[in-house]
Amino acid sequence: MIADPGSLWASTCLESYTDRPPIRLERDNPWLCKLIEFTRVLVEFSAGRFPIALPLTRGPLDALSAMRGRTGCVWTWSIQPEEVMAISASWLTCGLASARRSCR
């Protein structure tokens, strides 16, 4: 983490999007379990009066930028778009699985 006045930033952790551990959804992850529990409580509380959304990955571009830095993200996107598309697909798969789980 990098602290700037009034904000925190993730420091980069990857040289390449392809040189990374796999992105997996672990069903018993305590943070995911708490997020799903919290979401269910909010849905019940809203009683249909307002929508509830799951911000699981900070937004794909935010996550990609956090892993490689803003410049690294944009640079990779411009010269190796297939790398960005592959990791984006992994994030999407996890996000959809998480959303499905919270709707049960």
Dump pLDDT digits (tens) for 21-39.
777 778 888 888 888 888 8
Q: Compute the chain's Rg from CA coordinates.
A: 16
Task: Say if strands 2-4 and 7-9 run parallel, antiparallel, or are unpaired.
Answer: antiparallel
Dump pLDDT digits (tens) for 43-94.
899 999 998 876 655 567 777 888 888 888 888 889 989 988 888 888 778 7
The continuous run of DSSP H or E covering 7 comes out as: strand 7-9
3-state SS record for 29-47: CHHHHHHHHHHHHHHHHHC
Sign of torsion, CA 94 15 76 86? Answer: negative
pLDDT at 97 over 60: yes
